[in-house]
Amino acid sequence: MNLEFFTDPLFCVRAMVEIQDSRPDPIKAIALYSGGLDSTLAILVAMRLGIEVTAVTFLTNFGCDISDKSSCSKDPFSAAGKFGFEVKLCHLADKFVDIVKNPRFGHGKNMNPCMDCRILMLKEAKELMKMRGADFIITGEVIGQRPMSQRRDTFPVIDREAGLAGYVLRPLCAKKLKITVPEQTGIVDREKLYDFNGRSRKPQMALAEEFGLTDYPAPAGGCLLTDPLYSHRLKELFGNNPSPSVKDINLLRLGRHFRMSSGSRAIVGRDEQENNVIQAMADSGDYLMWVEDFGSPMTIVCGAASDDALGLAASICARYSDAKNLPSVEVSVSWNEETSRMQVKPAANETIEKYMIKRPDVASKGFTV
């Protein structure tokens, strides 16, 4: 026998899965999986114990998806491919919009409904648990890592509200928590779980090295709902449009925003990439504006815009173009596949300040005005 195989962490994890497969009634778990370090480690700990894990990654309309760089979502497939576990994707859609609007347990500092978010994800995971005949749920949460949802006193509330009291195993901090049903029944060995605590990443990094997990993202500041400016834009959008479209929500992360009237707003691109995205997202009923023959932002006007609102949006577009110092600028306007021209004076700074949607009193982590 080649003993060097047993010093290979990847081989050991896969070997335990093979052993599990030989059992007549394998132990199964559903794991909440973001693709980040903690949730990956929680899965690997469970697999090392011979548990058959199905991971589920939740998507929302607020940036928590696999294409974004927020810490609540990373590429979930690279580690899954390396270590051999299955990943399912689940979009929370309007269910998540509803809890962002009116969370039972309130928002955090901004628009983040952390406890309600966790409860919703666990409820959805519970349904998958029933479908798969799984025994319990796994998460990568660590006590003290998040101030609102990852506390010793909030874990029991979250589990109870999700209808999963006793059935949520948190392998990375289990030894600091009340014993769970899978531990009580002996299908999980509590002594092989961990007692991580707080915001330090050193214990996780050491465990990752033990497993041979080298490709994992650095921690970021949280999802977009924790960003002050994004949250302000979202709250302002809900105030003017209680039922925004997916496009309306997706536009929040782009450009500079201006409220033209209660029914219309303008978004001005800040660079070529944003210009391209704005142009691609525009519907036939939206107005697109730009300045020909000059460096220019792509500007989209959404909603029922009056002639005055369109003129104002055109002047703002001109203000952010390379023609901003000219006394008069010709702005191209596209609507319903037809293009026309408007001659406007670039907006003054006072106009920009009056109509821009911003929070000047709060520094934003990821947005500029």
Q: What backbone phi and psi angles, to 5 degrees, belong to 5?
A: -60, -35
**Is 121 within the bounds of a domain?**
yes
Residue ranges of the chain whose pLDDT lies below 70: 1-24, 63-75, 147-148, 219-222, 360-369
Residues 59 and 112 in one domain: yes
232 and 265 inside one domain = yes
Q: Give the per-residue pLDDT at 148.
A: 67
pLDDT at 222: 61
pLDDT at position 144 is 82
Q: How is the beta sheet containing 329-335 ordered, strand by strand? A: 256-261, 264-268, 299-303, 287-290, 329-335, 338-344
* Per-residue model confidence (pLDDT) at position 84: 94
Question: Is residue 323 domain-resident?
Answer: yes
CATH of the domain at 95: 3.40.50.620
**What is the structure's pLDDT at 8?**
53
Does the pTM of the predicted model rise above 0.85?
Answer: no
Shared domain check, 142 and 94: yes
Number of domains in the chain: 2
pLDDT attached to residue 4? 37
Can you give the pLDDT at residue 11?
47
Residue 341 lies in a domain: yes
Residue 16 in any domain: the answer is: yes
Residue 202 and residue 259 in one domain: no
Are 191 and 52 part of one and the same domain? yes
pLDDT of residue 24: 60
CA-to-CA dists, residue 31 to 23, 79, 325, angstroms: 21, 14, 57
Q: Domain residues for 266?
A: 227-355
